[in-house]
Structure 1
Amino acid sequence: MKKLLACLLLAAASALAARTVTLDYFFQQGCEECARVNALVLPMLAERFPGEYELRRHDLNEEANYLKLVEYQERLNVASDDAVCMIVDGSRYLGGFAAIDRGLPEAMERARRLPAGSASPADAPPDRERLHRRAEAFTISAILTAGLLDGFNPCVFTTLIFFMSLLSLSRIRGRRLLAVGGVYCLACFCTYVALGFGLFHILKLFSGYQVMRLGIETVLIALLLLFAFLSFRDAWRFRRSGRSGAVALQLPERIRNRIHAVMRSGLKFHYLLAGAFTVGVLVTVLESVCTGQVYLPALVLMSREFGAGSRWFGYLLLYNLMFILPLLLLFLAAWRGTSMPVFLNWSKKNVVAGKTALGCLFLLLAALMLL
């Protein structure tokens, strides 16, 4: 009897001594793995460890929560970027549904046995500079590459060469050519940013609906794989035939004729710079049928990775600066005296390389969306 009483007292003392385990749960709206954690792991946790833990939810679409996660990852030397993660007592990182599902019960048992006061929640305000360095390390090269290749898109390049040939026929040279080129590029930049801004916010509206988000990403991945195949096929066909008609991924004839008509009309404006700006706006909108093949998947990635706060807008501007760079270089070359035949020959010689690079970019974007 005394032994039984002693055991009961010991169990009661252990229960009183057991401390509350802190669980920091980081998630994103519309995340498939997050939905599985909510549906499978959290009910298990409530049933198996009732009243023994404090669950602190952190939506990663809020910048303060993203900063807190970065602080944890830096302190715990975690290099992975998981869509969902859970941190036990500020010292054990579980990233992804599989790791949380397998490791959380054992982590809870171990944390409960630790003496009170041993947890290290790391609630200190995070370092914003650390966040920016971390984000740039993962994104800047991809954004630069996608924007630059989009700017070298044959749709954009051939359209610009046609516009410059019209300027040459109109005897617009020297400083006037530089001014027209600058205004045209500015119009393209502003229009492309505006298109991206609108599309980005439309995508963010869908991001909270898991089925719609997954549907959009699935369709885009399928399209990217199709575009990659067509780009590689275009490169192979053009290399064999040398004919532009062998290229499948190009502006439809109707849209191309419409662009040419817009350019001719723009040069008839009473104020040349106003005409150049109007041409830039309208041509960018019409060309988006072709350039959107790269732009839209890039925007989907930005909305998924940089939706918190306003960080995404800086990356949007960076993408568009790289997009506009080839256009600026082409106008500068024309201003310095490069003739149209040189541009046409260069464009023709680099169709295979450009199509191959675009195919590789499509595959890269599809792979990033699958992660």
Structure 2
Amino acid sequence: MLRIFQDGSSLLFCLKNNRRIIINLLLIALFISLLFISPNRLVLSAFSQEVKTDDEVISHSSTQQPIYIADFYEPGCQECERVARLLEQVIFEYPQVEIRKFDISTPEGVTLAEQLGELYGVSEYDRLLVPMLYIGDNYLLREQITYESLISAIDEIKGVEFPPPWERVKEDQDSVQQRLIERFQSFGIGAVAISGLIDGINPCAFATIIFFISYLALIKRTGRELLLVGGVFTLAVFLTYFLVGAGALRVVTSLSFLPLARKIFIFVTAAIGIILGTLSLLDYLKYKRTGQTSDATLQLPPRIKELIHSTIRKNVKISSFAIMAGVTGFLVSILELACTGQIYLPTLIFISQVPELRANALLYLLFYNFMFVVPLILVFLFTYWGTSSQQWAELTKKNYGKVKMAMTILFFGLAILLIMTGFLF
């Protein structure tokens, strides 16, 4: 797939011969990142760090009739962060609004979400999804939650006395647990597999492993070493998501600085994609003009190239790269926690707390997370093949221009996707 820079080129050491181009590209990428991470967003991120945890009410003092909103969220869910910013704006404009947040990844959160879903007539396939808001007699789910829909729901009950949604539930917890158990027992392994595959589409993880494996190929690492590093990265993602699902990393995933760190990480990764895409495009244009590959923008002088390879081979063990890959996989997973689009994961998390069904639930959770990393495994293997295959190397030489254009589209596509992710959420 990717023989990214011919003959072991490296961006870092291209500075000597292409300093002006690289510096300008970095400044442009930084400007784009700062443009999307606007001051208002930073203020909102700072404000959100003051948001109280579950079972604590967020409000401003007001003498008006209070309006209660139940907000169901999941730590690390980018869509939930978008809704949190909307709610912060609503609180400033409607001081009588009081919001209570509930974490759907906890048994208590799942129980209440199921109770309110039953009370409000929400489909059983939707009631455990997040973000979900309950206001008065209405509920808003995911893409339905906009500034306009929030204001409309608030205006509809303004001045009317409505009890808090969390105080309206009358169903006992035993019947809720029994319903969740029955739902769990109705799950087919195929449905869980499809859910894991869908939720496993993670552009940040894809971009990271592509850059990782490509870099190792640049410095002439062998096929086995590429497999080891890619495997460690994928395993780290798998274990991290499994531990998050099992509740073992709740303290880490609830850290207040993660939303801002996630946004910075997304835009930095996007900036790398923009730089690589631009340099690949320059190489393509040079090739079309001269028909030569030797003067590529990303080409290193042979003496420097050999020095880099020699130094890395002597001083950096593959175990160091493996450790780096594992740490990177963990950090990417924490910063890019998936916001599940199905009912399966919240249900599995809840059922894993039921002693007699814990083993089955954890088995399903393991399978869900395995399917979750299958797209990542495919990207990893495809990238590995593209950076180590002799057939691909020969094909690249014969179709240099087409390969460079494909790389340009790939890098720019990843960058655009990442920027959209960071900007929208």
Match of 2:73 in 1: 27
- Aligned pair in 2 of structure 1 residues 60, 362: CA closer, same or farther (>3 Å)? farther
For residues 234 and 288 of structure 1, the distance between their equivalents in structure 2, rounded to whole angstroms, comes to 29
| 1:325 and 2:370 matched | no
CA contact (8 A) 1:232 1:356 kept: yes
> How far apart, in 1, do the equivalents of 2:82 and 2:105 lie?
15
Deviation of 1:321 after TM superposition, in Å, equals 1.3
Letter in 1 for 2:421: L
On the 8 A contact 1:156/1:287 being kept in 2, the answer is no
Bigger drift between 212-221 and 97-106 goes to 97-106
| Match of residue 102, structure 2, among 51, 58, 62 | 58
Give the 3-state SS of the residue equivalent to 2:140 in structure 1. strand
Q: Structure 1 residue 83: deviation in Å?
A: 3.4
Moved more, 229-238 or 128-137: 128-137
Q: Which residue of 1 aligns with 2:271?
A: 226
- C-alpha distance 343-125 of structure 1, shift in aligned 2 (>3 A): same
| Paired residues of 1:153 and 1:354 also in contact (CA < 8 A) | no
Partner of 2:140: 94
Q: Does the 8 Å CA contact 1:60/1:66 hold for their aligned counterparts?
A: yes
Is residue 2:235 matched to residue 1:193? yes
> What residue is the counterpart of 1:246 in the other structure?
297
Structure showing greater Rg: 1
**Matched residues in 2 for 1:22 and 1:286: separation?**
46
1:75 alignment partner in structure 2: 123
Instruction: Name the aligned partner's letter for residue 324 of structure 1.
Output: F
Q: Which residue in the other structure is 1:178 paired with?
A: none
1:353 Cα deviation from its structure 2 partner: 0.9
CA distance in 2, matches of 1:209, 1:362: 27
Of residues 347-356 and 359-368 in structure 1, the stretch that sits farther from structure 2 once superposed is 347-356
Aligned to 2:156: 106
Contact 1:259 1:283 in 2 (8 A): no
Q: Does 1:216 align with 2:261?
A: yes
2:414 equivalent to 1:357: no
Q: Is the 8 A contact 1:151 1:326 kept in 2?
A: no
Distance change in 2, residues 1:260/1:285 (3 Å): farther
Letter in 2 for 1:159: A
Q: Is the Cα–Cα contact under 8 Å of residues 68 and 136 in structure 2 kept in the other structure?
A: yes
- For 1:314 and 1:240, how far apart are their aligned partners in 2? 42
How many pairs are equivalent? Answer: 296
Normalised TM-score (structure 2): 0.48
Please say if residues 71 and 100 of structure 2, whose CA atoms lie closer than 8 Å, have aligned partners that are also in contact: yes
Encode CA deviations 1:121-158: one digit per residue, 9 max, x unaligned: 99442734498478447534x34x76666555596277
Shift of 1:239: 0.7
Whether contact under 8 Å (1:25, 1:87) holds in the other structure is no
- Output one character per residue of 1:37-79: Cα deviation in whole Å (capped at 9) or x when no partner: 4893997257xxxxxxxx9863123267458758949618869
State the partner residue of 1:44: 96
CA distance in 1, matches of 2:321, 2:127: 43
Aligned partner of residue 72 in structure 2, secondary structure? strand
Q: Is the 8 A contact 2:279 2:297 kept in 1?
A: yes
Structure of greater relative contact order (alpha carbons < 8 Å, 6+ residues apart): 2
Contact 1:196 1:299 in 2 (8 A): no
SS of 1:357's partner is helix
- Is the CA contact (8 Å cut-off) linking 2:217 and 2:387 kept in structure 1? no
| Structure-1 separation of matches of 2:214 and 2:400 | 11
SS at structure 1 position matched to 2:96: helix
Matched-pair identity in %: 9
Distance (whole Å) between structure 2 residues aligned to residue 103 and residue 56 of structure 1 = 16
**Higher helix proportion (structure 1 or 2):** 1
Q: Does residue 139 of the first structure (1) align with residue 199 of the second (2)?
A: yes
Whether the aligned pair in 2 keeps the contact of 1:229 and 1:359 (CA below 8 Å) is yes
Unaligned runs of 5+ in 1: 1-20, 47-54, 165-180, 267-277
Q: Deviations over 1:165-203 (max 9, x none)?
A: xxxxxxxxxxxxxxxx457514531255338867998x9
Q: 1:82 to 1:214 in 2, by over 3 A?
A: same
